[in-house]
Amino acid sequence: MLNQRLKLLLQTVRRLIRREAKGNLRNMLRKLHPADIAHLIKYLNLKESKWTFDLIEDSEMAATVLSELEPEIISVLLEDLDNVKISQILQEMPADDAAEMVSDMPEEKAENILRLMQHKESKEVEDLLSYPEDTAGRIMTPHFFALFEDTTAEEAIKKLRDAVDAEMVFYIYVIDRRHHLVGIVSLRKLIITSTGSPIKNIMTTDVISVQTHTDQEEVAMMVAKYNLLAIPVVDEQNKMMGIITVDDVIDIIREEATEDIYKMAGTSEEELLEKSTWKITSIRTPWLFFSLIGEGLSSVILRYYNNTLQGVISIVFFIPLVMALGGNVGNQSQTIVVRGLATGRIEQLDIWNILFRQSKVGLLMGFLAGIIAGLCVTLFYKHPALGLVVGISVFISVNISAIVGTITPFLFNKMHVDPAVAAGPFITNFNDVVGISIYLGIATAMMKYLV
Amino acid sequence: MLNQRLKLLLQTVRRLIRREAKGNLRNMLRKLHPADIAHLIKYLNLKESKWTFDLIEDSEMAATVLSELEPEIISVLLEDLDNVKISQILQEMPADDAAEMVSDMPEEKAENILRLMQHKESKEVEDLLSYPEDTAGRIMTPHFFALFEDTTAEEAIKKLRDAVDAEMVFYIYVIDRRHHLVGIVSLRKLIITSTGSPIKNIMTTDVISVQTHTDQEEVAMMVAKYNLLAIPVVDEQNKMMGIITVDDVIDIIREEATEDIYKMAGTSEEELLEKSTWKITSIRTPWLFFSLIGEGLSSVILRYYNNTLQGVISIVFFIPLVMALGGNVGNQSQTIVVRGLATGRIEQLDIWNILFRQSKVGLLMGFLAGIIAGLCVTLFYKHPALGLVVGISVFISVNISAIVGTITPFLFNKMHVDPAVAAGPFITNFNDVVGISIYLGIATAMMKYLV
């Protein structure tokens, strides 16, 4: 959402670009918050955004702006810059953001740029890249503020004053001589402590930490659960390697939710980053094929019941109805379980409890939908027997869909397959096949009353 | 996800409950993190969780545990407690959490409990309750650390030492004599400043704040965008009223995502809080009726094409196929737009750009799906004319679905109707009707080649 202030800013920026008033725009950019510049750049067209970005003089500012942008825009902004300039910008960036950008580049370019960066910074980035994607090691920042346990409060405050990198210090981590994480001190605690006492006397030893290989989703859950501002990342020997701050966790939580939503619809977030129609289509094809196979099966079933259909053509009229009502309820149950598992609100252990509840809901909804559908068919088509068949079919298929929609995500989860990606296409097509089979099966059985 | 440590804890707790070892369990609870107790309580059955909760001696600990739990569990835990005990617990709770709990209670009970609380605390809760739900005013905490601008750094540190409530101080807010918010100082800045200088000399005057009536979703977006730990809430005169901390923002982001996911499936998060099957069903009925009406329309269309169907019964076999392929692609486009609008990744202004991209994807997917479906029908059913009809119908309905799926959420958004809740049922049923109409229309037009 673009609020009033940003709308005005955008108009001004566009006017300055049209007038090619480089000096004025440069001055204006200098005064803006990097997050606002990033926000504005999203609204400019390709040429405008490049023109604007190139006017940001300070590499640090440019780096912060890029950190706030999506990969697809970053690649556009950087495409005309030479490697030297890019390396200067990357150098100013938090190592985790730089690592993300480097990992998106072609290998050769990435290597060139890393070579051009100063050794300290490029080493940090390479260290992060050595951890697998989506783990704590990959997204942590190696800049944290740790002190040995025998440091006094006074020394600690002095060290804090000298720490250039420490703009984001929330906690002071306490380590032993071999760099094992042993405790934590809050800034406030430090301030209110008398100067001479060593920090090990005021530290909390119950430190909540994650390991470098911990999945980023679990990291996010822990930060959320314990209401932390940052979580320390340690290796297998409990040696402190980095921290992950809450602002990164917010991004993870939002991304993971988006990912799940797209997966349930049979596509992926990559679609937004992708310009090629072919690539987007290829992301979506798995579900396309699933549909083709599933509905191919539906056509075989309908063909099998050829005689029934030809005997009473009005049976055909309600095929979409039976399909849609079952699909509807199955999708609802599936959504409840998939999202519940993702947020941790539902756990694998809850399966019987949830199944019981969803079955009850399926029962009642199937009953309501069956009665209404059956009555409508009876009244509008003056065909009570067909109304009965439709009503019963709706009732049964809604119930089956509710149960399948509930159990499938649990099963996929148990098999360590992401329920969001697997459950979506499977359940949708499965419900269609089941609905049609039940409807035509019952109609065939009751054929003598229908004709 | 229940990790190894919590699994062991859960076993121990259950064993202690079976043995009714109150003393041991009480000691154990005393040593646990409140978030862990809350997590354990989720896994215990009703009786066990009440038994455990009642063993938490300290009202403050009980309050923190409740803050981490879902409303449905809270109501169970509190139902047997008398109002005095409840008021003691609420008193220890952050005012925003207490307000949320009070607003979930029956009015009379809520009033009784507020009356039993100490005046200061109950007033805070009532103040928050005077703001509408889902606004910044409702979810802010009135406990923040603000100092007048002429306070010196030394005085500020002294004040910080005396502040009991300030466990969560991230920033020091600077106000003028009439309590207008004028600046902000980070704890670190305060520490490294020489003692005598007034804080107005070191404060940042570009303060990012929200107003009491700002929607919580916008609050969350701002905290995420500017990477804040807390955001100040001011009234219309810029007087400081409270703060919203990042841990609450994380909860909002997660909840809003969950809400959207459930809405798109035609249900609501309330379903998880609800024990009555009737209530859950009533939450879901709007979509049920939408389906009944939409698919009722489908049946009317099919009936209209009665002769076509009776003429060539194999047309029926592919009704589900045409419906499913269009629905699939329409749902994907809709999901991309609904979620994009919710996260701010897509804006109202992007409509033509997104429509162009989604249309291209629709074109290619329609082409692929149409060719494959058409070829399959031709090969397996040895009926080239029917294959052509199916192929063309799939192609057209996929294209229409992609366009409708893209435009509808933008339209609803423009009309200030939540795209997630409106687009879901509308698009699903619309696509079915369109798919069937196109398929039967084309089949009828080409009837002479089909028989």
For residue B308, name the pLDDT band (cuts at 50, 70, 90). Answer: very high
Least confident residue range of A185-189, A310-314, B55-59: A185-189
Nearest to B328 among A187, A223, A288 (CB): A288
Exposed e or buried b for every residue in A87-111, given b needs 16+ CB within 10 A? bbbbbbbbbbbbbbbbeebeeeebe
Q: DSSP labels for A44-100?
A: S-HHHHHHHHHT---HHHHHHHHHTS-HHHHHHHHTTS-HHHHHHHHHHS-HHHHHH
Distance from CA of A114 to the nearest CA of B (A): 27
Q: Count residue pairs from A and B with Cβ separation < 8 A.
A: 300
C-alpha torsion angle, residues A119, A124, A125, A129 (rounded to 10): 130
**Residue B300's pLDDT band (cuts 50, 70, 90):** very high
As a whole number of angstroms, the distance between CA B239 and CA A425 comes to 52
Helical axes A351-381 vs A384-414, angle rounded to 10°:
160
| pLDDT tens column, A320-344 | 999 999 988 998 899 889 888 887 7
pLDDT range class, residue A162, cuts 50, 70, 90: confident
Query: Between residues 336 and 355 of chain B, which touch chain A (CB distance below 8 Å)?
Result: 336, 339-340, 343-345, 347, 349
pLDDT-based confidence at residue A41 (cuts at 50, 70, 90): confident
Ordered DSSP codes for B310-343 = HH-GGGGGGHHHHHHHHHHHHHHHHHHHHHHHHH
pLDDT beyond 80 at B347: no
Half-sphere exposure (CA, 13 Å, Cβ side) for A242?
24
B249 touches chain A (CB under 8 A): yes
pLDDT digits (tens, 9 = 90+) for A196-227: 889 999 899 989 999 999 999 899 989 988 98
pLDDT at A433: 92
Instruction: Tell me which amino acid residue B446 is.
Output: M
CA dihedral B391, B393, B395, B399 (to 10 degrees): -170
CB of B161 less than 8 A from some CB of A: yes
Q: Which two tokens stand for residue A345?
A: 């609100």
CATH architecture of B146-255: Roll (3.10)
> Could you say which architecture CATH assigns to the domain A270-450?
Orthogonal Bundle (1.10)
Q: How distant is the alpha carbon of residue B152 from its chain centre? A: 43
What are the tokens at A180? 């094992």
**One-letter amino acid of B256:** E
Give the Å distances, CA to CA, from B153 to B59, B84, B172, B192: 36, 43, 11, 9
Residue B436's pLDDT is: 94
CATH architecture for residues B4-134: Alpha Horseshoe (1.25)
User: What is the arithmetic mean of pLDDT over B76-96?
Assistant: 88
Instruction: Look at the alpha carbons of A327, B406, A339, B369 in this order and tell me if their dihedral is positive or negative.
Output: positive
Q: Rounded distance, CA A342 to CA A345, Å?
A: 8
* The domain defined by A146-246 carries CATH number 3.40.50.720: no
Task: State residue A299's pLDDT score.
Answer: 92
pLDDT at residue B167 tops 80: no
Question: Is-contact A337 A406, C-beta < 8 A?
Answer: yes
Mean pLDDT score of chain A: 88
Select the residue of A39, A251, A284 nearest B365 (Cβ to Cβ). Answer: A284
Confidence of residue B2 (pLDDT cuts 50, 70, 90): low
pTM value > 0.95: no
> Is A191 in CB contact (< 8 Å) with chain B?
yes
Banded model confidence at residue B276, pLDDT cuts 50, 70, 90: confident
Instruction: Kindly tell me if the per-residue pLDDT of A442 is higher than 60.
Output: yes
Tokens representing B337 are: 């737009």
| Banded pLDDT at B164 (limits 50, 70, 90) | low
Q: Is the pLDDT of residue B434 over 90?
A: yes
A4-21 pLDDT, tens digit per residue, is 777 888 889 999 999 999
Q: Please, are residues B252 and A319 in contact by the beta-carbon 8 Å criterion?
A: no
Q: Whose CA is closest to B243, among B270, B209, B220, B271?
A: B209
CA–CA distance, A216 with A71 (Å, rounded to integer):
19
Classify residue A238 as left (phi > 0), alpha (psi -120 to 50) or beta.
Answer: left
Mutation target vs A (from B7, B289, B295; most A CBs, 10 A cutoff): B295
Which amino acid is residue A17, in one-letter code? I
Mean of pLDDT values over A370-399:
94
pLDDT of residue B367: 95
Q: Is the pLDDT of residue B344 over 80?
A: no
Helix A246-264 with A319-343: angle, nearest 10 deg: 160
Tell me the per-residue pLDDT of A242-266, one tens digit each, with 9 for 90 and over: 999 998 999 899 888 888 888 888 8
In this structure, the strands spanning B171-175 and B181-186 are antiparallel
SS3 (DSSP) at A131: coil
Residue B446, min C-alpha distance to chain A (Å) = 20
- Give domain limits for chain A: 4-134, 146-246, 270-450
Distance CA A343, CA A279 (A): 30
Residue B356 burial by Cβ neighbours in a 10 Å radius (0-12, 13-18, 19+): exposed
Percent of chain A with pLDDT over 90: 42
Pair B444, B305: CB distance under 8 Å: yes
pLDDT at residue B72, as a whole number:
75
H or E element that contains B256: helix B246-264
Give A177 to chain B, closest Cα distance, Å. 26
* pLDDT value at residue A166: 55
Contact B324 A272 (CB under 8 A): no
Q: Write out the two tokens for A300.
A: 């075989």
Selected for mutation to probe chain A from B361, B378, B401 (highest A CB count within 10 Å) is B361
CA distances from A47 to A16, A76, A398 (A): 14, 10, 53
| Position B361, amino acid | V
**Lookup result for tokens 């040429």:** A47
Mean pLDDT of the residues in chain B: 88
Q: What integer pLDDT is reported at residue B166 of this predicted model? A: 55
| Interface residue of B46, B207, B210, B291 to substitute, partner A, most A CBs within 10 Å | B291
Asked if the domains at B4-134 and B146-255 fall in one CATH topology, the answer is no
Mean pLDDT, residues B223-247: 93
pLDDT at A165: 59
Asked if the model's pLDDT at residue B243 lies above 90, the reply is: yes
Which pLDDT score, from 0 to 100, does residue A435 have? 94
8 Å CB contact between A320 and A393? no
- Cα dihedral B85, B91, B92, B94, rounded to 10, equals 140
**pLDDT for position B435:** 94
**pLDDT tens, residue by residue, A147-158:** 999 999 889 888
Q: What is the dihedral of CA A363, A367, A369, A375, to 10 degrees?
A: 170
Residue A254: alpha-carbon gap to chain centroid: 5
Inspect the interface and report whether the beta carbons of B254 and A253 lie closer than 8 Å.
yes
Residue B405 φ then ψ, to 5°: -65, -30
pLDDT at B374 over 60: yes
Six-digit token string for A293: 């196979």
Question: What angle, 0 to 180 degrees and rounded to 10, lies between the N-to-C axes of helices A4-18 and A46-54?
Answer: 90
pLDDT tens figures, B380-429: 888 999 999 999 999 999 999 999 999 999 999 899 888 887 777 788 88
Gap between the Cα atoms of B53 and B40, Å rounded: 10
pLDDT at B223: 93
| CB-closest option in A267, A295, A309 to B321 | A295
Tell me how close the Cα of B246 comes to any Cα of chain A, in angstroms: 8
Model-level ipTM above the cut of 0.85: no
Amino acid letter, B317: F
Per mean pLDDT, which of A113-127, A392-406, A416-430 is the most reliable? A392-406
Q: A134 or A272: which carries more pLDDT confidence?
A: A134
CB contact residues (below 8 A), chain A span 396-435, against chain B: 428-429, 432
Residue A1 has pLDDT above 60, yes or no: no
Over the range A188-224, which residues count as b (16 or more CB within 10 Å of their CB) and which as e? bbbbbbeeeebbbebbeeebebbbbebebbbbbbbbb
Query: What percent of chain B lies above the pLDDT cut of 70?
Result: 98
pLDDT-derived band of residue B270, with 50, 70 and 90 as boundaries?
confident
Does residue B32 register a pLDDT over 60? yes
